[in-house]
Amino acid sequence: MRIGDLTKGGKFSSLQTAIAGARDWTSAAIKLQGLLEGEKDPAVADLAALEYMLNIDSDSDQGKRWGPFGPMFEVQGAVRPGPLDEASDQFINRWEQIAVELPDPIVQSRFSDLLWLRRRGRPDDYGRRAIDAYLELGLRVWSDEYSGYLALARALQLSRQLRDDERIAAAIEALLKFTQIGLDSKPPGIGLMTAELLADLPAKLRPSKNLSEMLTGIVGREDLDIDLTSDTCGLLAKVSASAEEGTKWRRRQVEVWSKGAADSKGLIRAYRLDRALVLASNFGFADLADDSRTALQNISDDELDLKTISTEIKIPNEQAEEYVRQFVGDDSWQDALTRFGARRAPAGDAAQNELAVREHMQRFPIQYLATKRIMNSLNLPIAIVADQDEHFDAALRERETMSIQVWGVFAAPVLDGIKDRYGAPSRADLTSFFYK
């Protein structure tokens, strides 16, 4: 069968229509979904392949849970598409047919990569075909898109896994070109993202000289805000040719925030001083850390212009009393205490709590992007929450703490109710009850 025969009513015609002009795999999936003719359409397998979300950060929460390809949707424990390692033979057989018959780089990158991960046929062959397709996408098809960054990053990742030196070199060269294109854009966010990927490579692979020249060229540009300027200095420190040069760029990174604070007011000033303090402390610049700490301590509450915001949940008395009566009952204090002890742990079900927090982070991601400080009852900082794993742990602790506090409101009235209804049992009776 010739490739051209597949475009007009062929078994892969819907897929080919969907990928035409697609800006990424997700947009192709959305278009393909509108072309399906019911759940029994064979192209459902094609849709599943395109719906997987590529994640190149193996240390991220999604990377640890799902690997390189995670679900597009995750709601109350249900995911779509299903986990890649549970994909049916029917799906995988069709993916193999597609990988053989359709040479388009969008197809080859996704379907060959999935087949590499499922170790079908000659996995190394699928892996190399995926790499070549990713390189074509990043350099020629999506050369100024975020999807192009993902494609090239995945090409490098696969090349290193296959220990293919030729393709490793090609991927690094392609990423350098992509970096330059991104840095020439205004603002240069995607260029800095790509530069960071390359700067984090092992020393023997890291193109430090190229990156240093590119990054030095954008320092001081007007379209760089304080965050991008800080990121640029941090990257230049990573790729510096000497420790002395690296120290210079790290001090400059701290000074970006302290100088930015001097030009700011209120919470913005406090935030920038806090960033300067954290960086200075991490880098070991005691003088800069002391300056930032002193400036922070001198900020008054009036300068911050803070307002107290609180919420209140009211539980009708009759509902609260009915809840307590369910534990007290009308039988015996032994049965009442059994009901009291059989209640789930005050913090709630651990698995359900984790699932609820993950869903909340997916639905409202913005509130988990900024670094925040956790304060104790004396209004002293006890933790700094920065990355996604730290935000997850903090949100989980907050949810469990709230659950314990809510149960604490009812626990004492339940015990009092048992005592009032049945009288106080003797120590001997309690000892016998708990140890029987």
Q: What is the pLDDT of residues 399-411, one digit of tens each?
A: 888 888 888 888 8
- pLDDT, residue 3, reads 37
Task: Answer for the pair 413, 324: CB distance below 8 angstroms, yes or no.
Answer: yes
Q: CA-to-CA distance for 58 and 68, rounded, in angstroms?
A: 7
Residue of 15 and 392 predicted with greater confidence: 15
pLDDT of residue 358: 86
Residue 2 has pLDDT above 80, yes or no: no
Cβ neighbours, 10 Å, residue 404: 14
C-alpha–C-alpha distance, residues 84 and 117, integer Å: 9
> pLDDT at position 380, please?
53
Q: Phi, psi (5° rounding) for residue 21?
A: 75, 10
* Mean pLDDT of the chain, nearest integer: 89
State the average pLDDT over residues 370-394. Answer: 71
Q: Letter for the amino acid at 265?
A: K
Give the per-residue pLDDT at 387. 76
- Mean pLDDT for 364-379 is 69
Q: How confident is the model at residue 319 (pLDDT cuts 50, 70, 90)?
A: confident
The percent of residues above 70 in pLDDT, for the chain, comes to 94
Percent above pLDDT 90 for the chain: 58
Q: Which of 393 and 256 is assigned the larger pLDDT?
A: 256
Dist. CA 2–CA 182, nearest whole Å: 39
Distance of CA 270 to the CA centre of its chain: 27
What pLDDT, on the 0 to 100 scale, is given for residue 381? 57
Average pLDDT over residues 112-141: 94
User: Residue 5 pLDDT > 70, yes or no?
Assistant: no
Rounded to an integer, the average pLDDT of 120-138 is 94
In this predicted structure, the answer to whether residue 246 has a pLDDT above a threshold of 90 is yes
User: In this predicted structure, what is the pLDDT of residue 375?
Assistant: 65
Residues pairing with 375 in the sheet: 381
Is it the case that residue 149 has pLDDT exceeding 90? yes
Window from 110-124, 216-230, 313-327 with minimum mean pLDDT: 313-327
85 confidence band (pLDDT: 50, 70, 90): very high
Most confident of 71-75, 145-149, 299-303, 378-382: 145-149
Identify the residue with better confidence: 315 or 151: 151
pTM for the model stands at: 0.70
- Using N-to-C axis directions, what is the helix angle for 208-216 and 189-199, rounded to 10°? 150
Name the pLDDT band for 345 (thresholds 50, 70, 90): confident
Confidence at residue 7, expressed as pLDDT on a 0 to 100 scale: 41
